[in-house]
Amino acid sequence: MRRRDLTGLVASATAALCCIAPYASAEEPGKTVIRPAPSVQRWERPTAVVDRSQLEDAGADLAEALDHQPGLGVARLGGLLSFSLLSVRGSTADQVLVFVDGIPLNAAEGGPVDLSSLPLGPIGAVAIYRGLSPLVLGSSAIGGAVDVRTRQLRGDRLELEVGGGSFATRTARVFYGHGEGPVGAGIAIDYQGTAGDFPYVADGGTAWTDADDVTRRRRNNAADQVGVMAKLRGRLGEDVRLTALALVVHRSAGLPGIGLYDTEASHLATTRTVSGVRLEALGGPVQLATTAYFSLSQTRFDDPAGEIGLATGGSRNLSLIPGLTVAARAPLSAEDAPWRLTPMAVASWRWERWQREDPAPDVPASGAGRHVVTAAAEATLAGDPVESELSVAARFEGAWSDTDGGASQSVTGWSLRAALLQRSIPDTRFQLAVTRSLRLPSLYELYGDTGYVLGNAALRSERSVGVELGVSHDASWFHAGRLTFEGAVFANFVDDLIQLVQNSQGVARPENVDSGRIVGVEAGLSLDAWRHLRVSGALTWLDAVDTSELAARRGKRLPFRPELATHGRVELYHDFHGAAVGEVGLRVEFSQTSGNTLDHANLVTVPARLVLGVGVEARLWRDQLRFDLAVRNVLDDRVQDLSGFPLPGVSAMATLGWTPDLSGVSE
């Protein structure tokens, strides 16, 4: 679809929706009050939400916040601004979709989203969908989905923050938002940088002896990242809202390689641009939401000395995705009727284009593109007499691709979900869900050609069948504060997993070779009591077994899935209610992970670990100043998520934030 066709479609939809719901307001003496309309983001309930208060620790990032949630795990290749991969309930990182306000971040060529590339300044909340991808996001996911929601624009709000710490780490953030009346606007600017030269132990490649172990500093690990977000919203009617978003993130970083071999000159630069427009008309009998988006990612890899690849040079990659999602639902119920039926339909289209260029003059550029179309429907029946909801959903997903060389391929599949929600016990929700999900092979897996990795156009989609039973409890009977609990047991059976298989000439080709069974338990607790104590905890237990036909793998533990992971945090605080000093808090937290295997034969492992952290927070000058100091890994335990990629030992980070009183409404 040409860009002018897409623009015309959005303009036509805007005109039509304005006719459906003309502007209306309610008058009060001296001012006009516009009643807020619920966003399309509230059509489907997430399994968990991370709010902004959980992102305020000094040196925190999105990967750290998600790693502390039940059922979620993050693997890092280093410290701040290092590549960070998300797994949900034992999934691969490729099986997790990441969005910003419903706009997909997964690149056209495929591969997981690097969580460290998302700046914190624009984030208002993070919606987590474990084991499913909601219909309104437009794509199926085996592991789940994460929707990063940008900050809402309410009142006048200005935030300034600076910070610094170990290994020449520095941060600076600015946010300003104005949201009075029918028009709102906001801008966020983030900077993060680090030298990344933390000490680590190099074992000399001999894990069985420490005689040759030496302590080194990480080299070629410096990174700088700048992110800018602009957001605009306007009301075109009482329940008609238009929201526009633009986010640009640029990172320039060295590539340190594995810890055994230092690098000097390898470098990676990435620029990602995400923009979109969402139009919502939510006041009529049929509620409509249309999102048009465009994302562009440019990556430049330079390896002049051949330190990372097998040859000198590098590569240039371009990922381009325009898309459109249209969603509609129509809540149906008779007056005073005990039953309500809510049908919903979602259709989406996106065009994915990936192109790779080699700086060598004798290597031609290669690329591929595809159209991806989804059509989904869901019906939810809610009954007051039995305090239950039953929802059934189906989604068709198809991709039609071709390459610059003339090859073509089509892949189609269905995703299904049925869920029963029960609320007859006060403050408690039980949910039973059965899902059938898929992941389409990426363009790189289908058509990649780097000389060392060749695509496979005959790949099938990865498939999964899952079942879960969950419970959540919000204890209204607990009068000393707030107490919530959540837990779930789940089982996923995955098949046709895609994995690179290397031949005798050293060339790897993706194949559908694996299958697995993942059974797990997750639990979370949150307590805020007696105005002096906050406690949070998370637990994830996984039994992940390889069920493929290969004798060397069958019955072995699936790699990169630790059996047990726990996180806990205890914070003591007191609010002095003074003009100079407000709330002051002291916290202690821990993260524990059992030993983990890194290969299918279970021969390469990383040991169990316990990482402790402490911190202090103080709110000063009528809560306009906030100081935070965080010390991570206080025991200086030298750990790693992936073999050869050490994580920092003990480190400290301090931040100072200023939020002046602009007589606005806080988020």
Q: Which pLDDT value is given to residue 639?
A: 85
Q: Which residues of 114-133 are buried (b: 16+ CB within 10 A; e: fewer)?
A: bbbbbbbbbbbbbbbbbbbb
Q: Which two tokens stand for residue 424?
A: 């007859």
412: Cβ–Cβ under 8 A, 6 or more apart, which residues?
396, 397, 398, 399
pLDDT-based confidence at residue 261 (cuts at 50, 70, 90): confident
Q: Which pLDDT value is given to residue 400?
A: 94
Q: Which pLDDT value is given to residue 311?
A: 57
Of 292, 291, 294, 302, nearest to 272 by C-alpha is 294
Query: Who has greater pLDDT, 665 or 555?
Result: 555
Chain segment 43-62, per-residue pLDDT in tens: 889 999 999 999 999 999 99
Q: Using CA atoms of 611, 119, 54, 629 in order, give the dihedral in degrees to the nearest 10.
A: 60
Q: Tell whether the model's pLDDT for residue 664 goes beyond 50.
A: no
Query: Who has greater pLDDT, 305 or 475?
Result: 475
Q: Tell whether the model's pLDDT for residue 334 goes beyond 90.
A: no
pLDDT-based confidence at residue 38 (cuts at 50, 70, 90): low
Neighbouring-strand partners of residue 75:
85
Q: Tell whether the model's pLDDT for residue 98 goes beyond 90.
A: yes
Place of tokens 């073509």: 408
Q: Which two tokens stand for residue 132?
A: 């499913």
Candidate from 92-106, 307-321, 422-436, 538-552 with smallest mean pLDDT: 307-321
- Looking at domain 3-23+47-658, which of 2.40.160.10, 2.40.170.20, 2.60.120.10, 2.30.40.10 is its CATH number? 2.40.170.20
Q: Which residues of 418-445 are buried (b: 16+ CB within 10 A; e: fewer)?
A: ebebbeeeeeebbbebebbbbbbbbbbb
Q: What value does the mean pLDDT take over residues 594-615?
A: 90
Q: Which pLDDT value is given to residue 549?
A: 84
CA 648 to chain centre: 23
388 phi-psi bin (left φ>0, alpha ψ -120 to 50, beta other):
beta
How many C-beta atoms surround the C-beta of residue 205 within 10 A? 11
CA 418 to chain centre: 24
Q: Which pLDDT value is given to residue 452?
A: 61
Q: Which pLDDT value is given to residue 1?
A: 39
Residue 503 host element (H or E): none
What are the sequence ranges of the domains in the chain?
Answer: 3-23+47-658
Q: Tell whether the model's pLDDT for residue 310 goes beyond 70.
A: no
Strands (E), 47-182: 48-51, 72-76, 84-88, 96-100, 103-104, 123-130, 144-150, 156-165, 169-178
152: Cβ–Cβ under 8 A, 6 or more apart, which residues?
124, 179, 667
Q: Which pLDDT value is given to residue 329?
A: 94
Q: What is the DSSP string of 622-640?
A: TTTEEEEEEEE-TT----E
Does residue 559 contact residue 518 with C-beta atoms inside 8 Å? no
Of 294, 396, 395, 279, nearest to 15 by C-alpha is 279
Q: What is the DSSP string of 479-547?
A: TTEEEEEEEEEEEEEEEEEEEEEE-TTS-EEEEEEEEEEEEEEEEEEEEEETTTEEEEEEEEEEEEEE-
Q: Which pLDDT value is given to residue 198?
A: 95
Q: Tell whether the model's pLDDT for residue 25 goes beyond 70.
A: no
Q: What value does the mean pLDDT take over residues 315-332?
A: 93
Q: Which pLDDT value is given to residue 527?
A: 97
Give backbone dihedrals phi and psi of 306, rounded to 5 degrees, phi first. Answer: 65, 35
CA distance 150 to 274: 12
CA distance 564 to 492: 17
Chain segment 626-640, per-residue pLDDT in tens: 999 999 999 999 888
Task: Provide Rg for the chain, Cα atoms.
Answer: 25
Chain segment 184-222, per-residue pLDDT in tens: 999 999 999 999 999 998 877 666 677 778 889 999 999
- Going by their DSSP bridges, the two strands 123-130 and 645-646 should be labelled as unpaired
Q: Which pLDDT value is given to residue 445?
A: 86
Place of tokens 């371009």: 318
Q: Which pLDDT value is given to residue 362?
A: 59
CA distance 573 to 586: 6
Q: Which pLDDT value is given to residue 172?
A: 98
CA distance 424 to 471: 12
Q: Which pLDDT value is given to residue 451?
A: 58
CA distance 536 to 532: 14
Does residue 145 contact residue 44 with C-beta atoms inside 8 Å? no
Does residue 498 contact residue 506 with C-beta atoms inside 8 Å? no
Chain segment 568-591, per-residue pLDDT in tens: 999 999 999 998 999 999 999 999
Q: Tell whether the model's pLDDT for residue 19 goes beyond 50.
A: no
- For the chain, give the percent of residues with pLDDT over 70: 90
CA distance 490 to 465: 11
Q: Which pLDDT value is given to residue 28?
A: 37
Give backbone dihedrals phi and psi of 415, rounded to 5 degrees, phi first. Answer: -120, 140
- For the chain, give the percent of residues with pLDDT over 90: 65
